[in-house]
Structure 1
């Protein structure tokens, strides 16, 4: 009898959860329902869980007694590939709205056929977050485990997870401004990473390394300022206000995390390159910028 009661209770809970999910998904954007990884949040949850398990547990144990991989060629192709993809997304975000009609204030999600270009760009941005998980995989394969920090893993895990909901429900409008900014920042960042992967002969062209974290801080200030203006607008019927709170909180959290990084890495000088300490390019820091440490940099 007890077993039957527990089984019945489990069935009831399962049915209630299914009912809640059905009600929840009814408000989703029908345009994205059949797109890759968009059918439900389960596939991406499995991918993210596997990513976290690999980079924090299985991967380091797998590499413990192995020689680090030499991935120079792979890193060159990967980083400049991400640069090209980020440039394309900048163009698409601009042409889909931010440069062709958006006001940078109360911009609503366009669910009509004219808004399809924007939602498609949002999906591409979402998918790019899975590609960028390779940053951490390369750390592990190159035995740079010290660079697999909380900030890094948190960033690469939370971005695709939250963006699934953004694409599925609100692919456009003011909630996509941070994606445009982030794509611009990634053009700069991955250009730097690609150049460092080319070897020490390019170090003399990388004097602007120290400004990357400043660019990140400016990004999060702009994201937070833009999204929080929503609360001061008299009339802005944005379709899913919950995303405003999520983006605002995300921007604020990362602003604080990067300010903390800036303090320890640059104010205290723990992660400054020796070129700034001893007037030599003999060694570069292992700084974590945007959760993406300088994974291509050859330490000498």
Structure 2
């Protein structure tokens, strides 16, 4: 036990000491401990929340949902603009883009939007709490919980070690997709009379899958060429994206294709 604890402390010290010195002072970045605690608390909430709500009435959160989703649309649009504008002004390459660790204006601007993207993943854990309070337990799927929890951890590593470079492509695409997604959620929160205008829900899942395919192509290319960007990061993104394509593809099949066959 003492040996295992010593190993954990050693790994933690290594992670703390070998990150991007520009981002170390920023909220939740320097040490992995706060992020790990957040993820553990999130998983406890997923387990305990439905049990605590079992004999309670669902809570009407419409007055919260509309401004929350509107704020998430605004944040997503802002991040998409910052990723796009900064990469454009910096002449980023889609084929190979190393991280610029200098503290000049454009690299710092890119690092800041990477941090906002990481922090947005922490905020998005609220989506799960909203499902629990509204007793939408059918939404608490493995896909939902896995995706929300792992994105926080994945982007902690990104902001800690690779705040820029190839990372911008994933953040830019995902911000665009989430601006559409939270627009859908915001319209749905207005009330049942809006549902007739939300016929495009299945296309939202298609958009998410298309995003993953683009990320897979982008990452695959960077695994095949010589590029001064951490190979382990590209490998992790590649494998993670394949897993998400499988999960989202299965969700699309069960939610739309199988139901059409039944009809």
2:181 aligned to which of 177, 189, 196? 189
Name the residue aligned to 1:293. none
Match of 1:120 in 2: 112
Deviations 1:131-171 (A, max 9, x none): 11111101110111111000000001000111111101110
Within a 5 Å distance, the mapping from 1:200-239 to structure 2 comes to 200-233=192-225, 235-238=226-229
**What is the CA-CA distance between 1:108 and the residue it aligns to?**
0.7
Closer, same or farther in 2 for the Cα pair 1:137/1:268, shift >3 Å? Answer: same
Q: Among residues 157, 162, 166, which one is paired with 1:170 in the alignment?
A: 162
TM-score normalised per structure 2: 0.93
Structure 1 residues 270 and 130, CA, compared in 2 at 3 Å: closer, same or farther?
farther
Inter-partner Cα distance in structure 2 for 1:153 and 1:21? 25
Task: Work out which of the two has the higher radius of gyration on C-alpha atoms and give 1 or 2.
Answer: 1
SS in 2 for 1:30: coil
- For 1:1-16, list aligned pairs within 5 A: 10=2, 14-15=5-6
Structure 1 residue runs of 4+, over 6 Å off? Answer: none
Aligned partners of 1:143, 1:20: CA distance in 2, in Å? Answer: 39
- Asked whether the 8 Å contact 1:264–1:270 carries over to 2, the reply is no
Q: Report what 1:297 is aligned to.
A: none
TM-score, L = length of structure 1: 0.82
State the Cα deviation string for residues 178-219 of structure 1 (Å, max 9, x = none).
Answer: 111010000111101100111122223222222111101101
* Greater RCO, 1 or 2 (C-alpha within 8 Å, sep 6+): 2
Q: Deviations over 1:50-100 (max 9, x none)?
A: 111112x22112111111100011111111110000000001111221564
Cα drift, residue 176 of structure 1: 2.6
Which range moved further: 153-162 or 93-102?
A: 93-102
Distance 1:58 1:103, change over 3 A: same
**Secondary structure of the equivalent of 1:227?**
helix
Q: CA RMSD in A?
A: 1.9
Aligned-pair CA distance for 1:13: 5.3
Aligned length: 261
1:83–1:191 contact (8 Å) kept in structure 2: yes
What are the ranges of 5 or more consecutive residues in structure 1 without an aligned counterpart? 1-8, 278-300
